[in-house]
Structure 1
Amino acid sequence: MVDQQRIKRLLIYAAKCVTGVLVVLGLSWAFDYKDIIWVLISVMLVLSPDGSDAVTLAVTRIKANVVGGISGFLLILLHPNMILMMCTAVFITVIICNLLNLEAATRTALAATIIVMTHEAGAHVWDTAVERVLSVLAGCLLGLLITFIFHNKYTKQTAEMILPKLDRGGE
C-alpha cells in the first residue's frame, strides 16, 4: 500500500509546479512578455517537494540564485572570452555559496550563472544578461510567493479538511 503522506506531498508539489506554470504564463500574457523560459526555470528551481522546510529552502535557493546571477553578470561584463569567464563564474559561484552556507542550493546558483551568461549570437551581451538576471529574480520571487501560498496555516487547514474526504472516497 502506498503511503498516504507521500501521495499528499506529491500532489501538493505537483500543484505548486502547475501553479507556477500558470502564473508565469498568465503574467507573460498580461504583460506581453515572450521570453518566459528563464522565469519558468527559476520558479521550478525554487519550489520544493518537501513541505516541512519549503519556505526556508525557497529563501535559500533565492539567495543562491542572486549569487549565481550576480557572478555571471559581472564576469560576462569583465571579459568577452566565454569559456574563461564561465569557468571563472562557476568557480566563484561555488566558493561564494560555500562561504554563505548555501551549499544545499549551489546547483540552483550554478543554473542562474549559466542562464545569465549564455546569450544568442548577435545579441548585446549586457542587455541579455540584465534581462536574464531580472527573469531569474522574477521567477524566484514567484516561486517564493507560491511556496508561501501553499504552506501557510490557512492553506494547510483547508487541505486537511478536503483530503480526509478524498481518503474516504468523497463522502
Structure 2
Amino acid sequence: MIDQQRTKRLLIYAAKCVSGVLAVMGLSWLLNYQDVIWVLISVMLVLSPDGSDAVTLAVTRIKANAVGAASGFLLLLIHPNMIFMMCIAVMITVVLCNILYLEPATRTALAATIIVMTHEAGEHLWDTAVARVLSVLAGCLLGLLITFIFHNKYARQTAEIILPKPDKGGE
C-alpha cells in the first residue's frame, strides 16, 4: 500500500501538470497563439513534484531557463551556424549555471538553450528565436504561478479535506 503522504504529493503534482496544460491551452486559445509546444515544455520543466521546496526549485529553474534562453539567443546574434554555435551555447549555459549556483536546474537551462536555437527550415531565424525566448519566459511564469497557487496554505487545507489523515486511535 502506498503511504498517504506519497499519494498526496503525487496527486498535487499531477494536478499542477494538468493545470499547466489547461492554462497554456486556454491562454493560447484566448490570445490566438498557435505555437504552444515551447510554452508547455517550459511550464513542465518549472513544475516540481516535491512540495517542500517547490517554490525555491521553480525560481531556480526559471533563473536557469533565463540563462539558457539568453545564451542561445546571444550566440545566434554572433553567428547563425546552428551546430557550432549550439555547442558553444550549451557549454556557456553549463558554465554559467555552475557559476550562478544553478546546478540543480542545468538540464532545464539546456532545454531552453536548444528551444531558442532551433528553428524549422524556411523560418526566419530571428523571428523564431524571439518567439521562442518569449515562449520560454511565458511558460516559466505560468509554472511559477501554478506553483504559488498549489503551495499555499489553502492548497494544503484542500488536500487534507480530500485525503484526511488516518485515525490513529486504534480503529
Superposition TM-score, scaled by structure 2 size: 0.95
Give how far 1:111 is off.
Answer: 0.0
Question: Which residue is equivalent to 2:3?
Answer: 3
Question: Which residue is equivalent to 2:150?
Answer: 150
Give how far 1:123 is off.
Answer: 1.2
| Gap regions ≥5 residues in structure 2 | none
Question: Which residue is equivalent to 2:21?
Answer: 21
Q: What one-letter code is carried by the residue in structure 1 that aligns with 2:72? A: G
The question of whether the paired residues in 1 share the 8 Å contact of 2:8 and 2:159 is answered with: no
Q: 2:119 and 2:25 mapped to 1: Cα distance?
A: 22
The question of whether the paired residues in 1 share the 8 Å contact of 2:89 and 2:113 is answered with: yes
3-state SS in 1 of match to 2:23: helix
Residues 1:64 and 2:52 are matched in the alignment? no
Q: How does 1:128-139 map to 2 (within 5 A)?
A: 128-139=128-139
Task: Give the aligned length.
Answer: 167
Question: Which residue is equivalent to 1:31?
Answer: 31
Between the two proteins, what is the percent identity of the paired residues? 81
Q: 2:52 and 2:36 mapped to 1: Cα distance?
A: 29
Give how far 1:124 is off.
Answer: 1.3
| Gap regions ≥5 residues in structure 1 | none
Give how far 1:159 is off.
Answer: 1.8
Give how far 1:158 is off.
Answer: 2.2
Q: 1:100 and 1:128 mapped to 2: Cα distance?
A: 27
Give how far 1:81 is off.
Answer: 1.2
Structure 1 runs (4+) greater than 4 angstroms displaced: none
Q: What one-letter code is carried by the residue in structure 2 that aligns with 1:70? A: A
Q: 2:164 and 2:80 mapped to 1: Cα distance?
A: 58
Question: Which residue is equivalent to 1:49?
Answer: 49
Q: What one-letter code is carried by the residue in structure 2 that aligns with 1:75? A: L
Give how far 1:161 is off.
Answer: 2.3
CA RMSD of aligned residues (A): 1.2
Q: How does 1:59-138 map to 2 (within 5 A)?
A: 59-138=59-138
